[in-house]
Amino acid sequence: MKKVILINGSPRLEEKTASAGFLARVDAALNNSEFEKFSVNVRQSLKNGPEPDYAKLLETDAVIFAFPLYYFCLPGLFTRFLEDYEKYCREHAGQKKPAKVYALVNCGFPEPEINAEAVRVIGCFSRHIGARFRFGILIGGGPMISSAEGVGPVKKAYAKLEAAIRTLADDLHGEATQTLENVLIQPNFPRRLYFFMGGMGWKQQAKKNGLKKADLYRRPYQRAE
C-alpha cells in the first residue's frame, strides 16, 4: 500500500474550513485498500510538537497540501511548518523517500490564478526537500464553492474539481515524471454580485460582534494629529 499524507494548512482549527472540505473529497477518492492515509492539521501539529508528523512525512509516498490563500501567499503557521520540516529533512538526510507533492489552494477572490504564486512556493519547497511536485489545483471563490454544492453557479466548478481529484488519484498510481498542468477552478458567478455578497457578509459579521458598518473602516493605529 502506498502511504499518503493529507495536510490541512489552514490556521483555523475548530471551524469547518474550505481546505478541510476539499481534503475530505480527496480522501474519499483514494481507495482504502490501495492507500494508507494520514491526516495532519498544521496548527494542531505545531501545538503538540510536529516531530511525529515529520517522521511520517519522511516515509510517505505522496503529500497533498490544502490551504487558503493569506495575503496572496501561504498562511504564516503553514510556512513555519514547512520551514521546520525542511530543517528536519536536512537533519535526517538519506532517510526521505522522493514523495510526490500536490497542492489545493483556495482564495476568497473569484479568480483562481491569484493562487499561482502560492503554488509556485510549494513547487520550490518540494525541490528543496527532494520531492517531486506534480501539479496544483487552484480554486477561486473557495468558501463559496465549498459551501454551495449543488447550486447552479458552482455545478461546473464542482465537476471540474472532481475531475482534477480523479487526475490526482490516477497520478498517484503512475510513475510519470513530467509535471502536469495546474487546474484552475472558478465559480460561474457575476463578479460584481460576488463582491457585493461578500461585502454583505462582512457587515453581517460586524453586526454579530456588536459593531456597526463604520467600525469596519476604523484605523486602529491612526496617528494622532
Q: What is the CATH number of the domain that holds 44?
A: 3.40.50.360
Q: Side chain identity at 28, as an amino acid letter?
A: A
Provide CB contacts within 8 A for 127, sequence distance 6+.
133
pLDDT of residue 220: 66
pLDDT of residue 95: 74
- Examine the domain organization and report whether 157 and 102 are in the same domain: yes
Instruction: Give, to the nearest 10 degrees, the angle between helix 116-128 and helix 76-91.
Output: 10
Which three-class secondary structure state does DSSP give residue 179?
coil
pTM: 0.85
C-alpha span between 122 and 99 (Å, rounded): 13
pLDDT of residue 121: 97
Provide CB contacts within 8 A for 19, sequence distance 6+.
8, 9, 10, 66, 67, 68, 104, 106, 142
Quote the number of domains for the chain.
2
- Examine the domain organization and report whether 211 and 183 are in the same domain: no
pLDDT of residue 108: 84
- Examine the domain organization and report whether 219 and 122 are in the same domain: no
Contact 68, 36 (CB under 8 A): no
Query: From the centroid of its chain, how far is CA 86?
Result: 19
> Could you give the residue ranges of the DSSP H alpha helices within 92-134?
116-128
Domain that holds residue 26: 2-189
The grid coordinates of residue 217 equal: 473602516
- Examine the domain organization and report whether 181 and 195 are in the same domain: no
pLDDT of residue 127: 94
- Examine the domain organization and report whether 55 and 119 are in the same domain: yes
- DSSP sequence for 55-73: HHHHH-SEEEEEEE-BTTB
Instruction: List the chain pLDDT tens, one digit each, 225 residues.
Output: 899 999 999 998 766 889 999 999 999 999 999 999 999 999 999 999 999 999 999 999 999 999 999 988 899 999 999 999 999 999 998 777 889 999 999 998 889 999 999 999 999 999 999 999 999 999 998 777 776 665 666 788 888 999 999 999 999 988 877 879 999 998 876 556 555 555 566 666 777 888 887 877 777 666 655
pLDDT of residue 219: 74
pLDDT of residue 191: 58
